[in-house]
Amino acid sequence: MIAVLCGGVGAARLLRALADVVPAESTVGIVNTGDDTVMHGLSISPDLDTITYTLAGAIDPERGWGLRDETWRAMEALDRFQAVRPDGSQAAPTWFNLGDQDLATHFYRTVRLAEGASLTTVTAEISAAWGVRQRLLPMCDERVSTVVTLADEATDISFQEYFVERHHAVAVSAVRFDGADQARLTAEAAAAIALADTVVIAPSNPIVSIGPLRALAGMDAALAARRHTVVAVSPIVGGQALKGPADRMMVELGHEASVVGVARLYAPIARALVIDPLDGHLAGAVAAEGIEPVVVESVMSTPEIAAALARATLAAAGA
Amino acid sequence: MIAVLCGGVGAARLLRALADVVPAESTVGIVNTGDDTVMHGLSISPDLDTITYTLAGAIDPERGWGLRDETWRAMEALDRFQAVRPDGSQAAPTWFNLGDQDLATHFYRTVRLAEGASLTTVTAEISAAWGVRQRLLPMCDERVSTVVTLADEATDISFQEYFVERHHAVAVSAVRFDGADQARLTAEAAAAIALADTVVIAPSNPIVSIGPLRALAGMDAALAARRHTVVAVSPIVGGQALKGPADRMMVELGHEASVVGVARLYAPIARALVIDPLDGHLAGAVAAEGIEPVVVESVMSTPEIAAALARATLAAAGA
């Protein structure tokens, strides 16, 4: 069994690639929920949905999130409410785009959670509805909210306000995970990590995607205790994030935006770090951080490259 | 000023017709909220929305509810969740059809109510967003739920389960309005009734559309006190409901499904009852109930007929 610590797009693509190498049923994704939010009264779990839709073959390939052949009629119809919305109201925001078909997933999740079902249970139901064969687990059933402090304004905003509304184009001075100290890695996720032959840290943002998982009590200790079978895939290639703001965010928060910076973050919990040949010249510097560099093409631009990456990742963990 | 006690489709059409006869700004609709429901976590007010969309010229003319040129992608996407929904869960029902554009209205209402705005306030905002010039008021800000007891099964179901899921094709043995004893006619609605020159009872279902308004404390007394300026339009023509189950429901609950049955219900609170020429032979029987029959074509099949009905209705109230 393979447990994969997941953010969104990068993790989704690695999970899809792993299914070309090992049976899908042998993989468990343990997914960041720090990005989860409530919009229009609906409970939204962006990373879980990106992974579900990707593994279902339903993701929009251009955007990397949301469903293919999507329409946006509900969102367009929200426009008329902007003029009447009182100051300070959170009603009818249009910056967080939800497709019409995608809404059904949020409807289902919202009602099931209101009925008292855990996010773990609801996620299993949604995965099953989409025919996903990998097991997907939210990292916790409690609400954890990633909060970003803006460097210029010294104000706190939610992750989605930072990522979507501000297009992650503003400098960040701090990141915190509200609720993480009260939340617990679920029993299912803890068991998956305990029982897995290999733990893979997906090529997701180390700060805001993998960070919330590591903020849960006992997570780092559990990984450190089995560090010899944990392997991470660098989300930084050639000093740049494959997607999103990981590179800028790392610099803003005092890390190095390179595979060496990633190595420093993951050395306590992983024995190997998969890096792209573009960063081959930094292999020595990675090793100097106490984590074994494994040089493999890691930009998953074709299914073949992705499968080779998945194979090399498992091999690096001794699987 | 004219205050109109409203259900859904019939009331919407009469309000539209009144706007051809008097300035729209001089009309206040006081609207049944007993049909209101929560679906997919969203607060839905079917009668208010039918009236809003009708007065905005956006109603679907075939269905009589919902928006024209509507799409149903979100609802269609709910199908995949039917197979994974646990027994007894209320998640993802597909029998209550919500159009994609219509969803925006429910999103807005849901969030504003959650922010603590009253339904009266939110209704004014939604009306303004749709450019409606008539004033629309929910009958109360508290939640009132129309509950229907099925004759065969002696079980209670919500109004929407009766009306939409069961297509109002089942016999009813009782109707009640849960919460009505705790609810209050809003100050705005009470003032509108007190200050109006004329009160019109729209051609809506007397039991489940006008019934909830009359179940509010003081409503019947307020109408009775000014009975000489209250006029009702019969929703029963030729012994049949213009729309919906009013005729069957009246019989099932011990009333006569005719203008005479309607006259009996409204005689304590209205001085005149507008009936169609099809029921002209019953004018004497209506008068015998103590309410003045006014015979006018009342099936609003053309704008001209509707305007003539509106004009005759106001005249019948002495306006």
- Give the length of chain B: 319
Distance of residue B265 Cα from the nearest chain A Cα, in angstroms: 40
Domain ranges within chain A, ordered by starting residue: 2-143+180-316
Distance from first CA to last CA of chain A, Å, rounded?
10
What share of chain A has pLDDT > 70, as a percent? 100
Which amino acid appears at position B146 of this protein?
T
Cβ <8 Å between A101 and B76: yes
With beta carbons under 8 A apart, name residues in chain B contacting A101.
73-74, 76-77
With beta carbons under 8 A apart, name residues in chain B contacting A107.
40-41, 74, 78, 91-92
Please enumerate in sequence order all residues whose Cβ is within 8 A of that of B181, keeping only pairs 6 or more positions apart, or say none: B215, B217
Distance of residue A224 Cα from the nearest chain B Cα, in angstroms: 37
Q: How far apart are CA B319 and CA B316, in angstroms?
A: 7
Q: Is the pLDDT of residue B146 over 70?
A: yes
Query: Considering CB atoms only, which of A80, A101, A110 is closest to B73?
Result: A101
SS3 assignment, position B190: helix
Residue A247 has a pLDDT of: 93
Q: Is the pLDDT of residue A218 over 70?
A: yes
CB pairs under 8 A between A and B: 132
Residue A15 has a pLDDT of: 98
Longest distance between any two alpha carbons in chain B, whole Å: 60
Cβ atoms of A226 and A192 within 8 Å: the answer is no
Q: Is the pLDDT of residue B158 over 70?
A: yes
Cβ atoms of B242 and B278 within 8 Å: the answer is no
Give me the residues paired with residue B43 across strands: B38
Q: Roughly what angle, to the nearest 10 degrees, separates helices B46-55 and B100-114?
A: 120
Residue A319 has a pLDDT of: 59
Which tokens in the block code for residue B281?
């032979």
Q: How far apart are CA B193 and CA B219, in angstroms?
A: 9
Cβ atoms of B140 and B184 within 8 Å: the answer is yes
Residue A28 has a pLDDT of: 98
Which architecture, in CATH terms, is A2-143+180-316? 3-Layer(aba) Sandwich (3.40)
Cβ <8 Å between A41 and B111: yes
Tell me which residue of A252, A192, A198 sits closest to A229, measured CA to CA: A198
Cβ <8 Å between B100 and A128: no
Distance of residue B153 Cα from the nearest chain A Cα, in angstroms: 26
Please enumerate in sequence order all residues whose Cβ is within 8 A of that of A178, keeping only pairs 6 or more positions apart, or say none: A144, A145, A146, A147
Q: How far apart are CA B78 and CA B94, in angstroms?
A: 7
Q: How far apart are CA B41 and CA B255, in angstroms?
A: 37
Please enumerate in sequence order all residues whose Cβ is within 8 A of that of B165, keeping only pairs 6 or more positions apart, or say none: B93, B95, B96, B157
**Local confidence band at B199 (pLDDT 50, 70, 90 cut-offs):** very high
Q: By a Cβ cutoff of 8 Å, what residues of chain A touch chain B? A: 40-43, 71, 73-78, 80-81, 83-86, 89-92, 100-105, 107-108, 110-112, 114-115, 117, 125-126, 128-130
Residue B45 has a pLDDT of: 98
With beta carbons under 8 A apart, name residues in chain B contacting A75.
104
Residue in A closest to B107 by C-alpha:
A40
Which tokens in the block code for residue A247?
């590179």
Q: How far apart are CA A264 and CA B262, in angstroms?
A: 81
Q: How far apart are CA A264 and CA A257, in angstroms?
A: 11
- Give the model confidence (pLDDT) of A47-78 as tens digits: 999 999 999 999 999 888 999 999 999 999 99
Q: What is the ipTM of this complex?
A: 0.93
Q: Average pLDDT, stretch A159-185?
A: 94
Distance of residue B113 Cα from the nearest chain A Cα, in angstroms: 10
Residue A153 has a pLDDT of: 82
Whole-model pTM: value is 0.95
Burial B267-294 (b: 16+ CB within 10 A, else e): bebbbbbbbbebbeebbebbeebebbbb
Distance from first CA to last CA of chain B, Å, rounded?
10
Q: Is the pLDDT of residue B83 over 90?
A: yes
Which amino acid appears at position B270 of this protein?
A
Q: Average pLDDT, stretch B188-201?
A: 96
Cβ <8 Å between A90 and B128: no
Cβ <8 Å between A89 and B128: no
**pLDDT, chain B, mean:** 96
Cβ atoms of A130 and A139 within 8 Å: the answer is no
The torsion angles phi and psi of B138, rounded to 5 degrees, stand at -65, 150
CB atoms within 10 A of CB B113: 17
Substitution target in B40, B95, B105 with the highest count of A β-carbons within 10 Å is B40
Q: Average pLDDT, stretch B190-205?
A: 96
Cβ <8 Å between B100 and A77: yes
Cβ atoms of B250 and B257 within 8 Å: the answer is yes
Which amino acid appears at position A41 of this protein?
G
Cβ <8 Å between A73 and B107: no
Residue B249 has a pLDDT of: 94
Q: Is the pLDDT of residue B319 over 70?
A: no
Which tokens in the block code for residue A244?
């999103």
Cβ <8 Å between B77 and A104: yes
Query: Considering CB atoms only, which of A40, A74, A128 is closest to B101?
Result: A74
Cβ <8 Å between B91 and A74: no
SS3 assignment, position B111: helix
**Local confidence band at A243 (pLDDT 50, 70, 90 cut-offs):** confident
Which helix (DSSP H) or strand (DSSP E) does residue A231 occupy? strand A230-233
**pLDDT, chain A, mean:** 96
SS3 assignment, position B176: strand
